Chains A and B, each alone.
Chain A
């Protein structure tokens, strides 16, 4: 930098900018700016093109498969996509995917919120840091490792819990247990819960940490206990953040492949009981069937992938709607 320019006299006020100068001020004429503009615009366009290409390809192949399908694609319980004529439906997969993810959410979200609150509002700073670090480690474990741990350690150790559930809740039918290996959608749900715990906890923790001090003090000064402070100011402030965190977790749970494929003993059946082995999820089914699929079979798997994609979109849309509905009362303008 030339230091002498600091002493340069102030230039007279510039006349109204010409068209040429306006273009210059938008940064499109200097070579560096032009290159950067081209790169960033190009990346943006490339992203859209890739998305469109994937969506187009998936829809095209899915349409091919569904047009050959001899069974009802949405309601059939069969998966014989390699046969002639091919017969397949996604009912079992949709059920298994949604149920296992719902179980995971029911278990993981309350625990995650609890851990996040403990780290931000109860634990001494140092202990909170240690817990955060351990949770970050948990997020770094590859999913296949979770799958192996699930199949070799979790499954054999769940017999006690399954027996207890059968004893006390077996009468509902939902928790009836025949006594087989615990390779059921319920176990998958537990494993998925452990897997999504770190992301839900981390995002919730960041949201709670930003909870405004002055609102917490307002509650304290009214004579609120620590839990009442959390209930009156921290949780309402963090509500939309926790919903976002849960959706991130749900996205992972819906699409999880290897861990589910390792633990579940799949079948094309919907059991009344969550504890009986069987069922399947979209991602697990694609992973285990793709290798030996015929061309039509592959298209059928692609079609099931499209359905998973649509489910994820719907879930995200619902979450956004929930957040938007409460916007007026959000802590954003605190």
Chain B
């Protein structure tokens, strides 16, 4: 299920603007890796290159390699649609399909894949909602629209939708930044459970969150506005927050950035 991600020499552009420059890192399976860094340092852009979502923005293109176990996601003849089916994503703002019921939202990915049995659909939806710690709250209103839920519930619905297709990797782009502290806690607990089954990469602006949920932390920075973002260092979370090897990381996590 969970696979290792190996990135080497990855550079991403928006048109002629270089957004991130020459990033290499390894993400271990069944672990949580957090990306931290100031706004504009390219951590979200980098996250979006991992499931080939970067190239759907106008002018977005990528150089370099992203290996999922041994398969290059940017290799010749690789279908980006197939890549996105194996690498799930959760976004900053909860985005359930507003025209679909809670049930259909969770089933949406399976229906896209086309390989499901009608009888199994209900089981998968229940399992995914339980996996996202949402089942007890919605089991009596599966046919109601997903947009009627609270923000935190909607975000867990989006997580259920993402894990329903059993992805190899789960990418989360600031999944709690639009949520209140209690909903945030619920999502963080969930991340702890999900890492038993999935490789998780999470972008966050909240350093406490990175310290709480992640095993490894990567610090990104940019030398000046308009310059491409770079990976400064990646290490065990404990080390990054106690004794980082680069001064810039220490400055950032202790609030003396700039």
Contacts and interface: CB of A to CB of B under 8 A. Distances in A.
B56 interface: yes
Given A329-B98, A330-B99, A221 B93 contact: no
Contacts of A331: 98-99
A217 interface: yes
Contacts of A217: 53, 56, 91, 95
Interface stretch (B9-17, B65-73, B107-115): B107-115
A218 B97 contact: yes
Interface range on chain A (Cβ under 8 Å from partner): 20 to 34
A36 to B, nearest CB: 40
Contacts of A137: none
Given A328-B145, A329-B145, A334-B147, A221 B97 contact: no
Contacts of B98: 215, 236-237, 329-334
A239 B89 CA distance: 27
A333 B109 CA distance: 22
Interface residues of B, number: 30
Contacts of B88: 221-222
Contact of A223 (B97, B158, B165): B165
A223 B95 contact: no
Interface in A207-241: 212, 214-215, 217-225, 228, 232-233, 236-237, 239
Contact of B113 (A223, A232, A236): A223
B85 A219 contact: no
Nearest to A333: B147
Contacts of A223: 81-86, 109, 112-113, 165
Given A214-B91, A215-B95, A334-B147, A220 B165 contact: no
Interface of A: 212, 214-215, 217-225, 228, 232-233, 236-237, 239, 328-334
11 contacts: A214-B93, A219-B97, A221-B162, A222-B88, A223-B112, A232-B97, A233-B99, A236-B100, A237-B99, A328-B148, A331-B98
Q: Closest 6 interchain pairs by CB?
A: A223-B85, A236-B99, A221-B89, A223-B84, A334-B98, A214-B95
